[in-house]
């Protein structure tokens, strides 16, 4: 089944949770949706890693995905994240996303139990048989423990089981290999934050960028410049507007703890007037030193 491939910058949007009880804040989800669309992005991915998929129930995933589809109202593409370990759960959530009007689904590989490739193949084969919208496979071996070769991902596409990939590894060589092994109808998305310009040189169609939750306009601009083959301008803009904020998401706290990057995004969005809520435990809130860093960075960018 041939679908029109997705293209452009897609944001794996954060999910707004209420501070009082960590319940889904539907009005906050709508705020984040509108904020990102108003800042020019091409697509949204609700309930992904940045959306805290692993911290939500299946019913909550359905609620968030439906809310985003309804709020977007056709203004941008919505690829609803419906990943889960159990194939039956993925099919259930994917059918619900299709019924809600999602343009596609993004499905991370089954996690934790490290399924073999025969099991992964059957997983996506069953999902493909159950829905009639595009499937983007999310390849994130760092978190999922499921490491697919580029040959295997290409096989999934060439056998008609998937339509696109979010390749979440910094090495853009993987994009080159995938493009060589597939064709121009395959939606090839770079899924890391650091090399958007370089990945376009390997014929990537899109960029899924978590930090774009907080800096959507900047991310959209650099990717559009690269796609327009204005590589010098794109790299100069990248160095001016993106590299300076990346340490926010990687530097340790004053106590030497790893950066709670989800809380960086949510605190930053709050400063920008968007109700992104809190991250669910065990993710910690933002310590005072990090709050100040976020505030100073947003001031430097002219956002507050």
What mean pLDDT do residues 13-24 have? 98
* Residue among 3, 53, 1 nearest 205 (CA): 3
User: What is the token pair recorded at 274?
Assistant: 């968007």
On whether residue 175 sits in a domain, the answer given is: yes
pLDDT value for 1: 56
Domain CATH code at residue 151: 3.20.20.70
Nearest-5° Cα angle at 104, 102 to 109: 125
Which residues have a Cβ under 8 Å from the Cβ of 60 and sit 6 or more positions away?
24
How do residues 183-232 score in pLDDT, each as one tens digit? 999 999 998 888 888 888 888 999 999 999 999 999 999 999 999 999 99
- Chain segment 230-251, per-residue pLDDT in tens: 999 999 999 999 999 898 888 8
pLDDT digits (tens, 9 = 90+) for 85-97: 999 999 999 999 9
pLDDT tier at 7, thresholds 50, 70, 90: very high
Q: How confident is the model at residue 2 (pLDDT cuts 50, 70, 90)?
A: low
**Which has the higher per-residue pLDDT, 250 or 128?**
128
* Dist. CA 90–CA 62, nearest whole Å: 11
Query: In angstroms, rounded to a whole number, what is the distance separating the alpha carbons of residues 187 and 166?
Result: 9
Is residue 294 one of the residues assigned to a domain?
no
Residue 94 burial class via C-beta count within 10 angstroms: exposed 0-12, middle 13-18, buried 19 and up = buried
pLDDT at residue 33, as a whole number: 99
Whether residue 147 lies inside any domain: the answer is: yes
Distance CA 8, CA 2 (A): 19
Nearest to 136 by CA among 112, 156, 122, 116: 156
Count of residues in the chain: 304
- Rounded to whole angstroms, the Cα distance separating 28 from 10 reads 19
| Secondary structure of the chain as H, E, C letters | CCCCCCCEEEECCCCCECCCCCCECHHHHHHHHHHHHHCCCCEECCCCCCCCHHHCCHHHHHHHHHHHHHHHCCCCEEEEECCCCCHHHHHHHHHHHHHHCCCEEEEECCCCCCCCHHHHHHHHHHHHHHCCCCEEEEECHHHHCCCCCHHHHHHHHHCCCCCEEEECCCCCHHHHHHHHHCCCCCEEEECCCCCHHHHHHCCCCEEECHHHHCCHHHHHHHHHHHHCCCHHHHHHHHHHHHCCCHHHHCCCCCCCCCCCHHHHHHHHHHHCCCCCECCCCCCCCCCHHHHHHHHHHHHHCCCC
pLDDT, residue 196, reads: 86
Whether the pLDDT of residue 281 is over 90: the answer is: yes
**Alpha carbon separation from 285 to 119, 142, 157, 245, 264 (Å, rounded):** 38, 23, 40, 19, 9
User: Which carries the bigger pLDDT value, residue 158 or residue 248?
Assistant: 158
Query: d(Cα 245, Cα 248) in Å, to the nearest integer?
Result: 6
What is the extent of the structural domain holding 32? 8-231
Rounded to 10°, the helix 58-72/26-38 angle is 40
Cα 145-17-242 angle, rounded to 5 deg: 65
Residue range 44-71: average pLDDT? 98
Domain assignment present for 296: no
* CA 145/CA 243 separation, integer angstroms: 29
221 in any annotated domain: yes
- What value does the mean pLDDT of the chain take? 94
| Average pLDDT for 275-297 | 95
Kindly indicate the confidence band of residue 102, based on its pLDDT and cuts at 50, 70 and 90: very high
303 found inside a domain: no
Phi, psi of 165 (to 5 degrees): -140, 140
Specify the pLDDT at position 148.
87
Q: Write out the two tokens for 59.
A: 């019913």
pLDDT of 291 higher than 90:
yes
For range 10-21, the mean pLDDT: 98
Domain assignment present for 122 = yes
How many domains are there within the chain?
A: 1
């Amino acid at each position: 089944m041939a679908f029109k491939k997705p293209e452009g910058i897609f944001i794996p949007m954060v999910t707004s949770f209420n501070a009082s009880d960590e319940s889904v804040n539907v009005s906050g989800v709508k705020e984040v949706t509108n904020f990102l669309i108003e800042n020019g992005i091409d697509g949204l991915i609700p309930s992904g890693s940045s959306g805290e998929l692993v911290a939500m129930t299946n019913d909550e995933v359905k609620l968030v995905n439906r809310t985003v589809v309804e709020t977007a109202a056709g203004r941008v593409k919505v690829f609803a994240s419906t990943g889960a370990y159990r194939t039956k759960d993925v099919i259930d959530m994917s059918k619900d996303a299709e019924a809600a009007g999602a343009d596609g689904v993004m499905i991370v590989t089954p996690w934790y139990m490290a399924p073999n490739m025969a099991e992964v193949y059957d997983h996506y084969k069953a999902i493909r048989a159950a829905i009639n919208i595009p499937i983007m496979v999310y390849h994130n071996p760092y978190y999922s423990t499921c490491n697919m070769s580029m040959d295997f991902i290409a096989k999934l596409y060439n056998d008609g089981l998937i339509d696109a990939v979010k390749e979440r590894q910094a090495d853009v060589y993987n994009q080159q290999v995938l493009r060589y092994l597939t064709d121009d109808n395959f939606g090839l998305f770079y899924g890391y934050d650091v090399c958007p310009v370089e990945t376009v040189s390997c014929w990537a169609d899109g960029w899924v960028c978590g930090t774009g939750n907080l800096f959507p306009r900047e991310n959209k601009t650099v990717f559009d410049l690269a796609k327009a083959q204005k590589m010098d301008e794109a790299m100069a803009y990248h160095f001016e507007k993106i590299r300076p904020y990346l340490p926010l998401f990687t530097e340790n706290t004053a106590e030497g703890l790893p950066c709670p990057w989800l809380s960086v995004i949510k605190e930053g969005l709050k400063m920008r007037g968007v109700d992104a809520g809190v991250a669910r435990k065990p993710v910690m809130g933002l310590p005072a030193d990090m709050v100040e860093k976020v505030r100073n960075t947003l001031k430097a960018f002219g956002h507050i």
